[in-house]
Amino acid sequence: MKVLFINENIGGHVTVHHHLRRALADHPHVQATFLDVPPPGPARRIVGAAVPGLGRLDLDLQPLRAQLALSVVVRRRLERLIDDVDVVHLYTQNAGLVSLSLFRRRPLVISLDTTNARNAYRLPYRAPTRFTPWSVPMSMWFERRLFAEARTIVANSEWAASSLRDDYGLSDDRVVVVPAGIEAPVVERRRSVGDRPTIVFLGRQLERKGGLELLDAWRQNVADRARGQPLVAAVGRG
């Protein structure tokens, strides 16, 4: 089976596709091709830029404009690849908003970690306003059309799946919850008596990525038995 994986290529999406590459490199039944969205050039940056004044009111549709610009780039590359594969895996839906006609030519599976209905209220660089409920439906219109075409939609969490059901009206039989896993490293290190293990949080944003909850759990439960080390780094673009 020939599978095309479309990688939105922001933040943790890079890591997801890194592991997919490794897992499928020698798979006897899957021939994987990867479409990695390139970094934004000047045109994409201009189209996706916030509009002064309107941006503060959440009326400039900046997230949607950035997604549409990205999905135009994907469509141009997808046109050259779509007929040579058996199925397309899209991660996430925002990279395929303008490729609906192409996806009708091959079975489509969408994976996602959130929806625009939820993301509109939790973007780290953009605060919702009283106008947000008026702007979000425009993004949702593009998503709904894409979701309707997909054979299966894979949510990385029940939280994301509940949005698909409650906000977009998708039935349970079309939504599959597959939590994002981690690959535990093999570490061989002998600790001396009294040497405590270290719990490390690595992420770009401590609060949004759950670092504060982990810190509270460490303090309340294992601070006397393990060291804690937050590492907040500007990794990726998401």
SS3 annotation, 128-152: CCCCHHHHHHHHHHHHHHHHHHCCE
pLDDT tens per residue, range 70-108: 999 999 999 999 999 999 999 999 999 999 999 999 999
In this structure, of 4-13, 21-30, 174-183, the range with the lowest mean pLDDT score is 174-183
Tell me the C-alpha distance between 213 and 98, whole Å.
Answer: 38
pLDDT of residue 11: 78
pLDDT of residue 180: 77
- pLDDT mean across residues, the chain: 87
In this prediction, residues 28-43 reach a mean pLDDT of 93
What does the DSSP assignment read for 143-199?
Answer: HHHHHHH-SEEEESSHHHHHHHHHTT---GGGEEE------------PPPTTPPPEE
How many Cβ atoms from other residues are within 10 Å of residue 156's Cβ? 20
pLDDT of residue 154: 96
Contact 14, 42 (CB under 8 A): no
Domain span(s) for CATH 3.40.50.2000 in the chain: 2-177
Please state whether 14 falls in left (phi above 0), alpha (psi between -120 and 50) or beta.
alpha
Tell me the C-alpha distance between 228 and 197, whole Å.
Answer: 9
In this prediction, residues 157-166 reach a mean pLDDT of 95
Q: Does 233 score more than 60 pLDDT?
A: no
Q: Does 202 score more than 80 pLDDT?
A: no
pLDDT of residue 205: 72
Q: In terms of CATH, what superfamily is 2-177?
A: Glycogen Phosphorylase B; (3.40.50.2000)
User: Pick from 91, 97, 96: which is nearest to 112 by CA?
Assistant: 91
Tell me the C-alpha distance between 103 and 71, whole Å.
Answer: 13
